[in-house]
């Protein structure tokens, strides 16, 4: 940075101008009076000149003076020009002193001579400090006052060489003093300039620092409230927006909890980068659909999103239509490189303030509703209902107590007979799991088996069933002779490598033949995602001589033609078909029986409740019956078996 030296010198010059002019004028008046008193009349002319000069200098100074406020912006060139003018005025003053000393020291009176000398030296001495701002003119000033005086002192009729010499020595000292003062002044200006620059630099750095700190604080705050991947709010951001919205008088809103369906499969199958892309796209689409009404849109967890939308009580459209719009937007295929992904979400909806006024509670409720949506088939929405919470609590109790139930005798097996449609003779028992819970009472197997599947407790539970069924049936066979025991097996059990070997070990342990056991699996076992593993387990069992039945046939939409690819021996037609008396359903049963026969499979009709059903389905070609008509599930015994569809009131006979 260049320091505006001349501008600063001008400031000093302006400051010193009047004081020095005043000193100059008063000295002039003083000496004029002394000389006039001694009869030197020429001195009046000189004083007249000094006065004129002083007035001229005042006028000129007033004309060119730069006010303090304008000094800051004055160009250096301008400052030099003004400095020169002021210096010229000072030199004019010196010129008049030159005239005075020349004439004044020529007078004979020594008192006046000395007075003139003293005043001249005093003026020159004053210039050492007062004219430090004029490095050149200042020196001229000193010389112009001293040199003529010294010259006059040696050229007088009565010369004063010593005084003249002293004058010269003084001049030398004053010149060097002036030089030093000038230098000190310049240095101090430069230093002040540098200090100012330094201060400015420090201020700038401070400002820059402040700006950077503010920016950083803003970024940190944004990061603290925003999800980095999607740009939506994170949990903290959502909490803040909710609190602000409530504080601003927000009175009615809906909270939509979106849980992406099968996101784990996308992540596992396509990779995490693709998973991230899906999340970003989902966020974008949610923003597109809800942006207008949103209090806040947030990513709550891995694949969970929240839309908190303003929803006045008199809102014309239903919240369901917004949920549908979100579902539709999400269902659009997502293209990542050359792959196509599709995301769906199970959406749960809770209302503020009806369902909860606390955000966490509101989210909990919407989450419950989304679990319910997921349970009912994914890709749907559900509006929160109090019974969801009860259902979930019950599920949690079931999951928690199941392990203990196996060891403390709460579980048992009920046996339902399967009889020949033609003769009514006992063919098999199906083992059906029962749980008498100390608090919840009798829990239906459908319910707790589903929980066991979800919580991976199905492995030990399934093993318990096979062992218990084999143990009880082996004792029954020992007394009554051979009978088939049908055990329900969940797909997850088949996916465990050791399943077939465990079955064989159990049979061996209870001295049962493989043909005594039948495994019932549902059509879901043939879903393509785990086809190979399931096939491997079923083939191992089939090779060993265990028979396999497809349970609840007709409910899983599996293709009949694929039956030949599996080692299946029996089809159990689901009781919903038996109960439905429409012609269409009857045709389905007929077709199923026909195809099954072609593949050499036996047909069991489940859920036979009436004699008419039994007769009709027997006429279609079913081989075996199971249902309340024959007997409800109960003890492992043949007592109570009936077969009223056979001619006359005839009791079914034991196979034993
Ligand atoms: P499932 O294998 O189809 O069992 C037949 C179900 O139909 C039994 O219900 C039985 O009580 C019922 N049922 C039998 N005859 C009739 C009838 O005439 N009318 C009506 N309305 N129902 C009849 P349950 O015992 O409640 O079992 C339900 C389901 O739970 C079973 O269906 C099976 O899928 C599952 N389950 C039962 N025990 C086990 C098990 O040990 N392991 C596995 N994985 N699942 C089991
Ligand atoms: Mg079954
Ligand atoms: Mg069934």
Q: In which band, very low, low, confident or very high, does the pLDDT at 559 lie, cut at 50, 70 and 90?
A: low
User: Tens digits of per-residue pLDDT, 372-408?
Assistant: 898 777 789 999 998 888 888 899 999 999 999 999 9
Q: What is the mean pLDDT of residues 604-630?
A: 96
Least confidently predicted of 26-35, 540-549, 562-571: 562-571
Q: In which band, very low, low, confident or very high, does the pLDDT at 529 lie, cut at 50, 70 and 90?
A: low
Higher pLDDT, 261 or 504: 504
How remote is the CA of residue 559 from the centroid of ligand 3, in Å? Answer: 18
**Which of 412, 413, 432, 633, when mutated, tests ligand 1's pocket best, judged by the most ligand atoms within 8 Å of its CB?**
432
φ, ψ for residue 179, nearest 5 deg: -60, -45
- 416 close to ligand 1 (CB < 6 Angstrom): yes
- 493 close to ligand 1 (CB < 6 Angstrom): no
Residue 506 has pLDDT above 50, yes or no: yes
What is the full DSSP assignment across 350-365? EEETTT-SSHHHHHHH
The rounded distance, in Å, linking the Cα atoms of 254 and 315 is: 11
Q: In which band, very low, low, confident or very high, does the pLDDT at 560 lie, cut at 50, 70 and 90?
A: low
- 628 close to ligand 1 (CB < 6 Angstrom): yes
Q: Which atom of ligand 1 is nearest to the CA of 609?
A: 18
Half-sphere exposure for 283 (CA within 13 Å, toward CB): 24
Cα(first)–Cα(last) distance of the chain, in Å? 115
How remote is the CA of residue 572 from the centroid of ligand 3, in Å? Answer: 7
The rounded distance, in Å, linking the Cα atoms of 263 and 286 is: 16
How remote is the CA of residue 432 from the centroid of ligand 1, in Å? Answer: 6
Which residue's CA is minimally distant from atom 46 of ligand 1?
488
Q: In which band, very low, low, confident or very high, does the pLDDT at 656 lie, cut at 50, 70 and 90?
A: very low
How remote is the CA of residue 550 from the centroid of ligand 2, in Å? Answer: 8
How remote is the CA of residue 626 from the centroid of ligand 3, in Å? Answer: 9
User: Tens digits of per-residue pLDDT, 347-365?
Assistant: 999 999 999 999 999 999 9
Length in residues, the chain: 656
- 627 close to ligand 1 (CB < 6 Angstrom): yes
Which 8-state DSSP code applies to residue 515? G
User: Tens digits of per-residue pLDDT, 5-16?
Assistant: 888 889 999 998
Give the DSSP H/E element, type plus range, for residue 366: helix 359-375
Please report, for residues 90, 143, 163, 473, 648, the alpha-carbon distance to residue 105 in angstroms, rounded to integers and kept in the order given.
Answer: 22, 16, 12, 153, 171
How remote is the CA of residue 481 from the centroid of ligand 2, in Å? Answer: 23
Ligand nearest to the CA of 626: 1
Q: Which atom of ligand 1 is nearest to the CA of 633?
A: 11
């Amino acid at each position: 940075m260049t320091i505006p030296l001349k501008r600063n010198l001008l400031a000093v010059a302006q400051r010193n101008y009047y004081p020095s002019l005043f000193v100059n004028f008063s000295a002039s008046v003083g000496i004029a009076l002394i000389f006039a008193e001694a009869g030197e009349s020429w001195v009046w002319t000189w004083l007249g000149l000094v006065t004129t000069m002083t007035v001229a200098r005042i006028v000129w100074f007033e004309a060119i003076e730069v006010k303090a406020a304008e000094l800051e912006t004055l160009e250096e060139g301008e400052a030099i020009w003004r400095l020169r003018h002021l210096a010229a005025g000072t030199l004019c003053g010196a010129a008049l002193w030159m005239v005075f000393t020349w004439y004044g020291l020529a007078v004979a009176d020594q008192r006046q001579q000395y007075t003139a000398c003293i005043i001249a030296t005093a003026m020159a001495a004053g210039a050492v400090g007062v004219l430090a701002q004029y490095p050149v003119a200042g020196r001229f000033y000193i010389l112009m006052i001293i040199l003529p005086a010294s010259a006059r002192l040696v050229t007088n009729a009565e010369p004063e060489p010593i005084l003249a010499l002293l004058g010269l020595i003084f001049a030398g000292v004053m010149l060097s003093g002036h030089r030093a003062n000038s230098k000190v002044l310049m240095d101090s200006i430069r230093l002040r300039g540098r200090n100012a620059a330094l201060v400015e630099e420090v201020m700038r750095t401070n400002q820059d620092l402040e700006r950077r700190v503010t920016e950083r604080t803003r970024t940190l705050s944004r990061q603290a409230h925003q999800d980095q991947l999607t740009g939506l709010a994170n949990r903290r951001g959502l909490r803040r927006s909710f609190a602000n919205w409530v504080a601003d008088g927000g009175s009615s809103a809906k909270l939509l909890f979106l849980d992406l369906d099968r996101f784990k499969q996308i992540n596992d199958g396509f990779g995490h980068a693709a998973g991230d892309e899906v999340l970003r796209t989902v966020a974008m689409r949610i923003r597109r659909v809800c942006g207008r009404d949103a209090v806040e849109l947030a990513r709550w967890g891995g694949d969970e999103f929240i839309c908190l939308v303003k929803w006045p009580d008199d809102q014309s459209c239903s919240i369901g239509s917004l949920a549908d719009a979100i579902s539709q937007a999400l269902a659009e295929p997502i293209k990542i490189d050359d792959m196509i992904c599709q995301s769906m979400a199970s959406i749960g909806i809770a209302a503020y303030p009806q369902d909860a006024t606390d955000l966490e509670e509101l989210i909990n409720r919407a989450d419950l509703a989304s679990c319910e949506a997921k349970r009912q088939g994914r890709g749907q929405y559900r509006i929160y209902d109090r019974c969801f919470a009860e259902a979930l609590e019950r599920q949690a109790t079931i999951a928690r107590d199941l392990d203990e139930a196996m060891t403390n005798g709460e579980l048992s097996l009920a046996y339902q007979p399967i009889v020949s449609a033609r003769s009514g003779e006992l063919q098999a028992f199906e083992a059906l799991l029962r749980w008498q819970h100390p608090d919840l009472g009798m829990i239906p197997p459908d319910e707790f088996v589903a929980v066991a599947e979800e919580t991976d407790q199905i492995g030990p539970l399934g093993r318990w069933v096979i062992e218990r069924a084999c143990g009880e049936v082996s004792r029954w066979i020992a007394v009554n002779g051979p009978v088939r025991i049908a055990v329900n097996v969940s797909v997850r059990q088949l996916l465990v490598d050791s399943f077939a070997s465990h079955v064989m070990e159990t049979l061996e342990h209870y001295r049962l033949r493989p043909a005594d056991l039948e495994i019932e699996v549902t059509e879901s076992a043939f879903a393509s995602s785990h086809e190979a593993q399931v096939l491997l387990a079923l083939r191992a069992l089939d090779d060993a001589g265990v028979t396999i039945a497809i349970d609840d046939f007709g409910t899983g939409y599996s293709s009949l033609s694929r039956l030949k690819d599996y080692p299946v021996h029996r089809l159990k037609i689901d009781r919903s078909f038996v109960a439905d008396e429409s012609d269409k359903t009857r045709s389905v049963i007929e077709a199923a029986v026909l195809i099954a026969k072609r593949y050499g499979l036996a047909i069991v009709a489940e859920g036979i409740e009436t004699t008419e059903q039994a007769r009709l389905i027997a006429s279609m070609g079913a081989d075996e019956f199971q249902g309340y008509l024959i007997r409800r599930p109960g003890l492992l015994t043949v007592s109570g078996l009936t077969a009223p569809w056979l001619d006359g009131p005839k009791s079914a006979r034991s196979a034993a």
